Amino acid sequence: MTFAYARVSAADQNLNRQIDSFIQFGVSRRKIFSDKKSGKDFERTGYNKLLKKMKKGDLLIIKSIDRLGRNYDMIIEEWARITRVIGADILVLDMPMLDTRSRGNDLTGKLISNIVLQLLSYVAQKERENINARQREGIASAKLRGVKFGRPLIPMPEDFAECVNAYKTRKITFEDALKNTGMKKSTFYSRIRLTKNRTA
């Protein structure tokens, strides 16, 4: 039986590219499992359903090696679980050398496959670490240049102080204060605190 597994890290990302490649390979849609979740652990519904279905002699197809996990140790351990514990084969479409079906009992083939797997797993982890480092450096650099992150502040109404005073002296209700300022409850209170800090 041939299965396939697709994964993206976030709900707003698209699985179509991976799924299309599986269908082109001839995998039935009913045999394609997927998750929209980070690869930081194996608490993934689709992946766990897949593992329960797979048996010895089955084939698992993935688009790239990092679909199994996000770091070196996870990828190596999961590869061993599928190929040794379950006894299934794996084919990585983006790296045809990683195809356990072609190894047979050839010792050299196994050695080459293992070396390539470990190298690619290492590269996948280093690339993720490099991306995270570049993101941190970019944010730090932007902050030094005065770039602000997060939601922009809602403009303070000109009569905000008068509205707050009217609310505190019970001339208007809290709902009226929110309506007059066009603010949500949390924003209204945070602006009051901000005003106090500036005048303190």
- Which residues are catalytically annotated? 9
Joined tokens for residue 132: 């995270």
Q: Which residue is associated with the tokens 């390539």?
A: 116
**What backbone phi and psi angles, to 5 degrees, belong to 89?**
-100, 160
Joined tokens for residue 24: 């082109």
The long-range contacts involving 116-120, CB below 8 angstroms and separated by at least 24 positions, are 117/65, 117/75, 117/76, 117/79, 118/72, 118/76, 120/65, 120/95
Joined tokens for residue 152: 């922009």
The kind and range of the H/E element at 129 are helix 107-144
Task: Compute the Cα dihedral for 169, 174, 177, 183 and give only its sign.
Answer: positive
